[in-house]
Each structure stands twice: as structure tokens, then as C-alpha cells.
Amino acid sequence: MTEHAAYIYLDHAATSWPKPDSVIDAVAETMRLYSANPGRGSHAMAVQASRILFNGRKQLAKLLNIANPNDIAFTHNTTMGLNMAIKGFVKPGDHVITSSIEHNSVRRPLYNLEQKGIEVTYIDADERGNYNLDQLKASMKSNTTLVVVNHSSNLLGTIMPIKEISEIVHQHDAKLLVDGAQSVGIIPIDVQQLGIDMLAFPGHKGLLGPQGTGALYISPEIDLQPLMQGGTGSQSEAPHQPLVRPDRYEAGTQNTAGIAGLTAGVAYIQKQGVDQIYRHEWELSQRLLEGLMGIDGVQCLGPALGEPRTGIVSFYVPHIDPSEMAFILDQHYHIAVRSGFHCTPTAHAAAGTNERGAVRASVGVQTTVKDIDALVFAVKEIIEQY
């Protein structure tokens, strides 16, 4: 591995790196001092482990304006949260609406349900990822129960009009599930103001926590059928899963150390300010877009220069395979990006890159102007020498 100081990491949409020291310290301290099983004992270490989980919920609730921290269920990742929400909510005879630019963590669970008779409608997005609100209105049916949409495309960086989508959804007495994989910790989110009924998100991306952490917010108006059943440390005498939250959705031992790290990541984000983080990442994405657009042969995806977007900039060069471009950037320039289809083939179809995919560069809180300029220089040099 190239040394940290010499390595430029531009793959934050996959996972954030490096983690803040406070995150690493929180994980290490918990593993050294409080690695008892939370909720499974009354001794001091078990009680402290339970406090770590509750404090994590409380800080997430504060960040997202969630009234009751117990409406937050910890998960291993966004994918788990989306599966919990979709499979726990949708019933036979239901109609679900999603978009053509969703991640496979939405597309595949819905495909699985389609094979069992659930009807799914896909709302079109244009090549820049803009959501078709008129088509959403026209697609709502009497049996439409759930609309699923990502807050920001993991390929295009497009930010979806969640408030407007929510208003349409609720006018038809349906519920809104938002995939926050690319937005939580990056875009200011108020679940009550935006009208979000369920929000699945990772701990390891915008929140800067460890991998293997995440959460699902579930509105108190919704009772999901649990994806898993098992030990919760509460109501152990009952054969059924407890009804009380969050136990209903958290069977088995939780990742206490990981959640301690996630909580430290949330504190780091709150200190920086999500507004400031978005501004920083947007400015870097604009610099990258402008630099790449100035290179002959480079085609950039997503919103145009000057428009809102998250810190994701995907691009391609027609005569260079994206995987080869990423390989050269890594091996010769020590720049980490991602290439391929990014687990969202339908978004590539919308963008017109479904044959070979694209190169994706994504910035984070510690990305610098120097990092951006190094990538632009490298891409220009690769094209000139190819």
C-alpha cells in the first residue's frame, strides 16, 4: 500500500478514508474497556455498552431531527436497512414505485418481490439524473403503498427533490423510503421537514464511521415486519419478536465498538457542520468538473457545471476503457478512483454509459484542491500518452 501522505483517495462514495482519529480512538477504547454484550446483562460493562448504543441513537436523532431515538435501528450497512424496509413493509397486492437510477440494493430486493407478484414501476430519469415528477404523479395507483428513491445518485451525484416527491407520495397515502447512502452527513437532512417515512443510511461513508455500521429510521406510524428474529435481551420468555423499539428490529449482538466509532464520526460531522461539508465538497466537485471538461475527449456525467450535486464526478474517455484508466491512475499516479458500473446498471443506461461504465471520482471532507488538480493533471497526461 502506498503511504498515506503520498496517496490521493478519491473513492469516498464507496467508503470514507482516512477516518478521523476520534473515530479510531472510540473503537479502540470500546474494545479495550466496554466489550460486553449490550442489553444482555446488568453488570457495569454491559450497562456501559448499552449506553454506547443509546448515545449513538441520540446523536443520529439530533443530526436528522428524529423525534424518538428508538425509531432508529442499527444495521450493518445501507443495503441491510433497505432490505429491512422494503421486505418488512411491502405486502402481496402492493404496488411499489422506484426510479431508473437506483442502486442494486433497491433494484434487487424489488426484483425479488416482483418474482413473487409485487408490481413495480420505474420512474424515468434523464441522462443527468433528473427525476420525472410528472411521471411519478401519473404512476400513483390506489394500491401504491411505497415509493423508494435515492437522495443522491451514486453514479451521477444528482440530488433528488425529496420534499416534492414526499408531497406527491403522501397525497396518495403512500410512504416514502429514502436511500441516504450518498447524502447522510453530506447534505443537511431533516426527516420531519422533508417528510421522509424511512431513511436507510451507512455509518462508513458521509458519517466517517467504521465499515459494518449503518441505520434505518422508521417512522413511528410504520410497523415493519422484522427481517430477522432472535435474541434481544428483552422479553426473552416470549416466542415472538418483541414489539418494543428498537429491539423489534435488532436481533442478535450489536457492533458496539463500531457504533462507538460511528457516534464519534457523527460528532466530527456536527462540529464541522453539514452545511459547510456540502459547500466544501460542492466546490471541489465544480473544480474537478471544470478541469475535466477542459480536456479534449473527456465526457462528464451528471448535473451541469454550477448546479447542485454531491461530491461525485463520473466521467469517461471514449477510446480508453474505464477500468484501464482507473488502473493507470492507481498504479502510476497513486490516485484511487472507482471504475465500472458502480452497482447501478440502470443509471448507466440512463447516462448512456451502459456498455463499459465510467470512472467515478468522489471527494470527502479531507479532500483538497491539490488532490483535485492532481487528478485533472493525471487524466490529461494519460490521454496525451495513450
Q: Which of 147, 145, 204 is nearest to 179 (CA)?
A: 147
Q: Which of 139, 136, 141, 186 is nearest to 159 (CA)?
A: 186
Q: Which of 47, 100, 65, 86 is nearest to 256 (CA)?
A: 47
Q: Given a cut of 50, is residue 88 above it in pLDDT?
A: yes
The CA-atom distances, in angstroms, between 106 and each of 42, 148, 193, 380, 383 are 39, 8, 24, 36, 36
Q: Given a cut of 50, is residue 2 above it in pLDDT?
A: no
Cα 238 to chain centroid distance, Å, stands at 35
Is the Cβ–Cβ distance between 184 and 64 less than 8 Å?
Answer: yes
Is the Cβ–Cβ distance between 377 and 292 less than 8 Å?
Answer: no
CATH number assigned to the domain covering 21-272: 3.40.640.10
Which pLDDT tens digit goes with each residue over 177-186?
Answer: 999 999 999 9
Task: Tell me the one-letter amino acid at 240.
Answer: H
Q: How confident is the model at residue 5 (pLDDT cuts 50, 70, 90)?
A: very low
User: Mean per-residue pLDDT for 98-115?
Assistant: 93
Task: Report the CATH fold assignment for 4-19+274-385.
Answer: Aspartate Aminotransferase, domain 1 (3.90.1150)
The string of DSSP letters for 50-114 reads: HHHHHHHHHHHHHHHT-S-GGGEEEESSHHHHHHHHHHHH--TT-EEEEETT--HHHHHHHHHHH
**pLDDT at 4 (0 to 100):** 43
What are the catalytic residues? 343
Q: How confident is the model at residue 38 (pLDDT cuts 50, 70, 90)?
A: confident
Question: Which cell is 74 given?
Answer: 442499527
- Residue 108: CB atoms within 10 A of its CB come to 16
Whether pTM exceeds 0.85: yes
User: Mean per-residue pLDDT for 365-370?
Assistant: 97
Q: How confident is the model at residue 243 (pLDDT cuts 50, 70, 90)?
A: low
Mean pLDDT of the chain: 92
**pLDDT at 357 (0 to 100):** 87
Residue 354 and residue 351: Cα distance in Å, rounded? 8
In the chain, what percentage of residues exceed pLDDT 70?
94
Q: How confident is the model at residue 135 (pLDDT cuts 50, 70, 90)?
A: very high
Q: How confident is the model at residue 231 (pLDDT cuts 50, 70, 90)?
A: low
**pLDDT at 198 (0 to 100):** 98
Question: Which cell is 27 given?
Answer: 473503537
| Boundaries of every domain in the chain | 4-19+274-385, 21-272
Which pLDDT tens digit goes with each residue over 277-310?
Answer: 999 999 999 999 999 999 999 999 999 999 999 9
Which pLDDT tens digit goes with each residue over 146-166?
Answer: 999 999 999 999 999 999 999
